[in-house]
Amino acid sequence: MNTHNTDSKKSPLDLNNYAALIGIDWADQTHALATLALPANDHAEPELSTLEHKTDALIQWISSVQERFAGGRIAIAIEQRKGALIHFLSAFDFIDLYPVEPLSLKSYRKALYPSGAKSDPVDAALLVQFLIKHHFRLRCYTPQSAPVRQGAQYCEDRRRFVDQRAQALQCLTASLKLFFPLALELFEDLSTSLARAFLQRWPTLEELQRVRPATLRAFFYRHGSRSHQLIQYRLELIAAARPLTSDPGVIEPQVLRVKSLLEHIGTLSRIIASYEQRIQSLLQVLDADGIFASLPGAGSCLIPRLAVLFGQDRTRFESARELQLLTGTAPVTRQSGKKKLVTMRWACSNFQRQSLVEYALSSLRFSKWARAFYDLHMPKDPNADKPTYSVLRKLAFKWLRIIYRCWQTRTPYDESTYLQSLHRSGSPVWQQLQQAKACPL
DSSP 256-299: HHHHHHHHHHHHHHHHHHHHHHHHHHHHHHHTTT-TTTTSTT-H
Tens of pLDDT, residues 163-194 = 999 999 999 999 999 999 999 999 999 999 99
Q: How far apart are CA 427 and CA 439, in angstroms?
A: 14
Per-residue model confidence (pLDDT) at position 10: 45
For 150-281, CATH gives 1.10.287
Please determine, for residue 12, whether its predicted confidence score (pLDDT) is greater than 60.
Answer: no
Please determine, for residue 81, whether its predicted confidence score (pLDDT) is greater than 80.
Answer: no
**How distant is the alpha carbon of residue 427 from its chain centre?**
32
Name the DSSP letter for residue 47. E
What is the arithmetic mean of pLDDT over 415-421?
A: 93
- What is the topology classification, in CATH, of domain 6-143? Nucleotidyltransferase; domain 5 (3.30.420)
Tens of pLDDT, residues 234-283 = 999 999 999 999 999 999 999 999 999 999 999 999 999 999 999 999 99
Q: How far apart are CA 209 and CA 211, in angstroms?
A: 5
Where residue 438 falls among pLDDT bands split at 50, 70, 90? very low
Please determine, for residue 412, whether its predicted confidence score (pLDDT) is greater than 70.
Answer: yes
Question: What residue ranges do the domains of the chain occupy?
Answer: 6-143, 150-281, 315-436
End-to-end CA distance of the chain: 44
Strand, helix or coil at 219? helix
HEC assignment per residue over 347-407: CCCHHHHHHHHHHHHHHCCCCHHHHHHHHHHCCCCCCCCCCHHHHHHHHHHHHHHHHHHHH
Is the CB of residue 27 less than 8 Å from the CB of residue 120?
A: yes
Per-residue model confidence (pLDDT) at position 315: 87
Sequence letter at residue 249: G
Tens of pLDDT, residues 51-72 = 999 999 999 999 999 999 998 9
Per-residue model confidence (pLDDT) at position 382: 66
Q: How far apart are CA 423 and CA 430, in angstroms?
A: 6
Where residue 1 falls among pLDDT bands split at 50, 70, 90? very low
Tens of pLDDT, residues 89-148 = 988 989 999 988 888 888 888 888 887 777 888 899 999 999 888 877 788 888 888 999
Residues in the chain, total: 441
Where residue 213 falls among pLDDT bands split at 50, 70, 90? very high
Per-residue model confidence (pLDDT) at position 381: 67
Cβ burial, residue 195 (10 Å; 0-12/13-18/19+)? buried
